[in-house]
């Protein structure tokens, strides 16, 4: 069966409209409930696409039936989303809401992995003062170049696995720019994957006065 046939087979019994798939689709709404399973372990309950990690709940507005589906399905079938006040959105705005919500889940997962590596480090390295780092990253969403360099060095020393892409660097003040200007090349290489594209451009050509902000 194709994904459209699968979807019709799964959606029609739960809809008031039992025959016309496109009519039945209009009974369903996505109103912002979404979940991160942390691993791609579930199948989409609509099209049966396997290995879904981010689940979006769609609800039938007439009978309250629910399905947990992938974000792709909401977009492919043009399922309507509602805003935070429950207003029905246009197709375009619905797409935007789904992408925004998906990005939110991805960002939250990244932050969680980041905090997890800090917690693992604190469990092993007694000299590591985790609270200052957690406070800083929760406040700014990123670390200074020196903080990040120290962190990565400690992760490696204690053999803690981490993904440098989960970490972000803040380069807003002169203090942070100066840290990068005098940072040894090998340290810079270590934190480079955590930098945004514009931050990397700034590092290569600081004289052009490009803003290193994200």
| Residues engaged in binding Zn ion (CB under 5 A) | 44, 46-47, 49, 69-70, 73
CA distance 47 to 75: 12
Query: Nearer to Zn ion by C-beta: 1 or 165?
Result: 1
Q: What is the dihedral of CA 9, 88, 101, 25, to 10 degrees?
A: 10
Query: Nearer to Zn ion by C-beta: 70 or 145?
Result: 70
Matching residue, tokens 């992938």: 70
Q: Is 165 exposed, middle or buried (0-12, 13-18, 19+ CB in 10 A)?
A: exposed
Q: Is 204 exposed, middle or buried (0-12, 13-18, 19+ CB in 10 A)?
A: exposed
CB of residue 56 to Zn ion, shortest distance in Å:
10
Query: Nearer to Zn ion by C-beta: 14 or 121?
Result: 14
CB of residue 210 to Zn ion, shortest distance in Å:
42
206 DSSP assignment: G
Query: Nearer to Zn ion by C-beta: 40 or 123?
Result: 40
Query: Nearer to Zn ion by C-beta: 35 or 153?
Result: 35
Convert 183-197 to b/e letters by CB count within 10 Å (16 or more is b).
beeebeebbeebbee
CB of residue 1 to Zn ion, shortest distance in Å:
13
CB of residue 94 to Zn ion, shortest distance in Å:
16
List, as one string, the DSSP characters of 98-127. HHHHHHHHHHHHHHHHHHHHHHHHHHH-TT
CB of residue 199 to Zn ion, shortest distance in Å:
36
Query: Nearer to Zn ion by C-beta: 46 or 105?
Result: 46
CB of residue 65 to Zn ion, shortest distance in Å:
16
Convert 78-98 to b/e letters by CB count within 10 Å (16 or more is b).
ebbbbeeeeeebeeeebbebb
């Amino acid at each position: 069966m194709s994904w459209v046939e699968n979807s019709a087979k799964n959606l029609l019994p739960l809809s008031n409209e039992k025959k016309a798939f496109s009519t039945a689709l209009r009974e369903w709404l996505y109103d912002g409930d979404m979940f991160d399973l942390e691993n791609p372990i579930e199948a989409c309950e609509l099209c049966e696409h396997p290995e879904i990690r981010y689940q979006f709940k769609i609800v039938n507005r007439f009978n309250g039936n629910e399905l947990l589906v992938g974000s792709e399905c909401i977009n492919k079938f043009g399922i309507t989303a509602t805003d935070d006040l429950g207003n029905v959105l246009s197709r375009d705005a619905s797409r935007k809401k789904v992408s925004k919500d998906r990005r939110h889940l991805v960002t939250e997962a990244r932050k969680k992995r980041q905090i997890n590596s800090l917690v693992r480090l604190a469990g092993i390295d007694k000299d590591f003062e985790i609270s200052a780092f957690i406070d800083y990253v929760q406040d700014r969403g990123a670390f200074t170049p020196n903080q990040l360099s120290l962190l990565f060095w400690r992760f490696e020393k204690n053999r803690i696995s981490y993904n440098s892409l989960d970490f972000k660097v803040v380069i807003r003040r002169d203090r942070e720019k100066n840290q990068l200007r005098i940072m040894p090349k090998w340290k810079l290489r270590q934190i480079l994957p955590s930098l945004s594209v514009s931050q990397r451009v700034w590092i290569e050509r600081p004289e052009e006065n490009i803003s290193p902000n994200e």
